[in-house]
Amino acid sequence: MSLSTVTSTSSRQAGSVSPPQSGTNSAGGIIAGRLSAQDYAAGFADIHPALSKHEAFVEADRCYFCFDAPCQKACPTSIDIPLFIRQISTNNDLGSAHTILDANIMGGMCARVCPTETLCEEACVREAAEGKPVKIGLLQRHAVDAMMAQAQAHKTHPFKRAAASGKKVAVVGAGPAGLSAAHRLSQLGHDVALFDAREKLGGLNEYGIAAYKAPDNFAQKEVDFVLGIGGITPTLNKKLGKGIHLDTLRRDFDAVFLGIGLASVNTLGLSGEGKLAGVREAIDFIADLRQAQNLATVPVGSHVVVVGGGMTAVDAAVQAKRLGALSVTIAYRRGPADMKASAYEQELAKINGVIIRHWLKPVRLHGNTGAVSAISFESTAMIDGKLTGTGQITKFASDMVLTAIGQILVSDDFNEAMTVRDGKIVVDSARATSLHGVWAGGDCTATGEDLTVSAVEDGKQAALAIDRALRA
């Protein structure tokens, strides 16, 4: 599938940033405040603004209410998409949201960050019919936003808890998997203790995705919404192995769910890494940006190189560009088809002026008075099915190198007890780990793609399985 095909058929138009109005501060080095306040606001505004009521009606009318709908089958959480769209078309946004949230309590964030062009919207029959799928993601956002506004305004929640079971479940990690599990467990009548290592709940929704995908503090609003069901007691700054331990959780709770994500990252393995200023993990760069009260305080290099090929690489690269970096290059060791960033994300990067270079692996960091000044890559090729260096070296001048070459599981606390394979916790179809009474989901497991929506499904399925186990 060529890039141009994908973008023309996707309902999501890759948002581009308008050129800075007042000129960019082009000084070298990693500095903050390269742009004017208006330019920051424009660059980090909602990338896919909400549909108006009229737009939602027009779009909802396009849905064919398919039999055994392909869109629903393509959704990891199996949202009844034809039904929720039909509910929008009959002016029942809250009922529509109920349909969505019943399958996916984080339908609001998923509507914003799902790669719909490779999920529901790719499967939409109108994609086959006329190359223009129904804008399922935006319709989902329309309905869920209405529900969240209502819940916020009236301090209500669309779901009621079942009669108390008397059981207590520990949920470790308050990202999409953990929040989803916690919500469903609470709904089923269990009391939930929710632990997270950081200062805020939300996991990657709060710390790990591009700001323009969920502006206006949406991640925290959604956390509040999810917790609105009650019965979930959050505890912050508690990390598995540091403050809490699996063995004590197993002893103190009736069940444990791990949604701990991948807490560490791969390193380039090059000399100077960790010493040279200006070389850092992309995920930390994104987290700092997300937590900044004022984007003008977030420093960015003048020539940024991002190493990696996933969503994190794109999120870091595009945001670096939107912070005013003069040039941003993504270097990836394989070809476009191998990139974990979807075709849409790759297109988004290009539209924002990011240069994507393929078949390059990092081989050397160059420094100058303690700071990175350049990075060298060796060209690669597939030879006899193996990725092999060709010996040809290319050097990019760079004052900021962001690494996004994969995150890794931190499993010190349970290494002996639980089966871990290829850096992921092994679970069965019910998300049960090899350890009795412990379930897991999200990026720390190998159940599906590392997507928010997959994590939500893991949390939901694990909660249902825990409920069955606790009532057996």
* Contact pick of 5, 53, 61, 90 for another protein (by CB under 8 A): 61
Q: Between the CA of residue 381 and those of 3, 42, 142, 355, what are the distances in Å?
A: 21, 40, 45, 20
Distance of closest approach, residue 149 Cβ to another protein, in angstroms: 21
Distance of closest approach, residue 156 Cβ to another protein, in angstroms: 21
Name 428's Cβ contacts closer than 8 Å, sequence gap at least 6.
none
Contact region for another protein (CB under 8 A) — 3-11, 126-134, 270-278, 390-398? 126-134
Distance of closest approach, residue 40 Cβ to another protein, in angstroms: 39
Of 132 and 334, nearer to another protein (C-beta) is: 132
Give the helix ranges, DSSP H, for 292-415. Answer: 311-322, 343-351
Per rule CB under 8 A, is residue 132 in the interface with another protein?
A: no
* Contact pick of 2, 18, 68, 337 for another protein (by CB under 8 A): 68
* Contact pick of 23, 41, 64, 164 for another protein (by CB under 8 A): 64
Of 88 and 185, nearer to another protein (C-beta) is: 88
Per rule CB under 8 A, is residue 65 in the interface with another protein?
A: yes
148: region left, alpha or beta (phi > 0 left; psi from -120 to 50 alpha): alpha
Number of residues in contact with another protein under rule CB under 8 A = 16
CA nearest 208: which of 107, 113, 72? 113
Q: Between the CA of residue 403 and those of 18, 63, 310, 371, what are the distances in Å?
A: 27, 41, 11, 16
CA atoms within 13 A on the CB side of 226: 34
CA nearest 300: which of 34, 60, 14, 97? 34
* Pairwise CA distance, residues 341 & 406, whole Å: 12
Q: Which of residues 71-100 bind another protein (CB under 8 A)?
A: 89
Per rule CB under 8 A, is residue 58 in the interface with another protein?
A: yes
Of 27 and 67, nearer to another protein (C-beta) is: 67
Of 70 and 423, nearer to another protein (C-beta) is: 70
Per rule CB under 8 A, is residue 42 in the interface with another protein?
A: no
- Over the window 281 to 320, marking each residue x when it contacts another protein by CB under 8 A and - when it does not, the resulting string is ----------------------------------------
Per rule CB under 8 A, is residue 66 in the interface with another protein?
A: yes
CA nearest 17: which of 55, 47, 37? 47
Count of residues in the chain: 472
* Pairwise CA distance, residues 196 & 10, whole Å: 36
Contacting residues toward another protein, per CB under 8 A: 57-58, 61-62, 64-70, 89, 125-126, 128-129
